[in-house]
A and B are shown apart, each in its own frame.
Chain A
Amino acid sequence: MTKIVEKHPRFIRWAHWLNFPLLGLMIWSGILIYWANDMYWVGIPEALAVRLGLDYRLAEGMGWHFFVMWPFALNGFCYVCYLAFSGEWRELAPDRASFLEALLVTLHDLRLRKELPPQRGKFNAAQRLAYTGAILLGMAALVTGLAIYKPVQAGWLTWLLGGYEAARREHFLVMLALAGFFAVHVTQVIRAGWNNFRAMVAGYEVVEK
């Protein structure tokens, strides 16, 4: 017999894996749009972009962006509702102690510290902060996006965000932060190994054989 724990509920696994291509398509189509305006302070190397098929294609980019935004938002909305109603949010929400603990976890993972603080629940404090942050970034992407998409009809929102150009910069910054989250996330998943990864596929984690 193998001893297992049920780690990730089915709903969360589906929402997680759906979000992967949806966010990917949003970033991809966003980069197709990016070239039409030279206000962003991060320069994507053009030769690389052309090779990767990420060159200036404004019409195509806008078409995809304003199509995929719906399933992206809907999936995120369902995910957040599930977290709220199932009580799973308790596994993600940081508390006051999480900030210091997250720092200690980070130092440990960077091999600057030997001990790990004791983990409370499914995720350690650094994970709690990172996952909660990713959800907030997803919401911020929608809000800043709306401020750019409808700066007249949602003019109050655009104003709140500091104006049309500021909202654009914020939207871009949110994308960079999500891309940064993704890079760290994938690195950490690889480091954590198969048992951890399998839990997001099949739901269970093996405790002992």
Chain B
Amino acid sequence: MKTSDIEPGKLRARLLRSLGLGLAAAALGGSLFLWIKRGASDDGAPLPLRRAFQVNEKIWARLQSERLSVARPEPPEGQEPRFNGGLGLEDEVDLEDYTVRVESGERRLNLDVAALRALPQTSYSTDFRCIEGWSEVLQYKGTRFSDFMDAYGVGRKSDGTPYRYVGLETPDGGYYVSIDMKSMLHPQTLLTYEENGRPLSDENGAPVRLMIPIKYGIKSLKRVGRIFFSDERPPDYWAERGYDWYSGL
């Protein structure tokens, strides 16, 4: 290191300049933090953090490929999947006489589970990842959402292009999600009626739920009561409560 000689007065000025600049930067940074934390919020998240979610979404939605969530060995048959919340499942439903209401453009369908079971069946065994951080391997069986769309001719506009978003709700409307079409067309996105080799339990969304392992579990809505398509983003329960709407993995 080179040495140099400098007048003590000039040296003091240099130090004070650096300290002043440092303190000013610290004050600026601190104010920025408090401004974000205490300022306006958008659906439960401070506005700049909501914007950051949206920027991240733009980046990841563009990079998102058809890549599958990695296959894992099947868990023992009949093992009950972890139960983590009963939102939208409070009301009793008659499983014998259950239908899913489907709305696409002007069309209205009421499908029973037998109709869904009649569609091509697909099964995967992979990680189910909760936004809380835990994960577990689940085997699940159902029909691909894309197969369901093709079979019933729903989800597309008259010119054949798909709607941008899919909305799903529980029968009582107590829980609802919305998901981008690209993720809904992913081959592992299934309208599911069996988990770990058994029909869904009440707790896990009997008789039919969504399973979308390329998103956090908050998007895998239990007990699908209504499916609808829209170019406007339908409401989403957790996105209204400060969480990232996209939640893609």
Contact = CB atoms under 8 A, between A and B. Distances in A.
Interface in B32-79: 33, 44-46, 48-50, 52-53, 56, 60, 63-65, 67-70
- Among B1, B134, B242: residue with most chain A CB under 10 A: B1
A52 interface: no
Nearest to B70: A155
A39 interface: yes
B131 interface: yes
Interface in A159-209: 159, 164-165, 168, 198, 201-204, 206-207, 209
Contact of B60 (A3, A17, A60, A153): A153
A2 B8 contact: yes
B179 to A, nearest CB: 15
A63 B19 contact: no
Interface residues of A, number: 43
B95 interface: no
A76 interface: no
Interface in B1-55: 1-8, 11, 14-15, 17-19, 22, 25, 29, 33, 44-46, 48-50, 52-53
Contacts of B238: 59
Contact of A64 (B14, B17, B18, B49): B49
B129 interface: yes
B174 to A, nearest CB: 19
A155 B3 contact: no
A64 B242 CA distance: 11
A2 B12 CA distance: 11
A142 interface: no
B242 A63 contact: yes
Given A4-B3, A153-B63, A63 B53 contact: yes
B28 to A, nearest CB: 11
- Among B3, B46, B60: residue with most chain A CB under 10 A: B3
Interface residues of B, number: 51
A59 to B, nearest CB: 3
Contact of A58 (B1, B64, B131, B249): B131
User: Could you tell me the dominant secondary structure of chain B's interface residues?
Assistant: mixed
B50 A202 contact: no
A38 B84 CA distance: 14
A152 B213 contact: yes
Given A60-B242, A62-B244, A151-B249, A36 B49 contact: no
B244 A4 contact: no
| Nearest 6 pairs of A and B residues by beta carbon | A37-B133, A59-B242, A63-B49, A67-B52, A36-B132, A202-B18
25 contacts: A2-B8, A3-B3, A4-B3, A4-B11, A6-B2, A7-B1, A21-B29, A21-B33, A37-B133, A59-B238, A63-B52, A66-B52, A66-B56, A67-B48, A151-B69, A151-B249, A152-B67, A152-B69, A152-B249, A153-B60, A153-B63, A198-B15, A201-B18, A202-B15, A202-B18
Interface of B: 1-8, 11, 14-15, 17-19, 22, 25, 29, 33, 44-46, 48-50, 52-53, 56, 60, 63-65, 67-70, 127, 129, 131-135, 213-214, 238, 241-244, 248-249
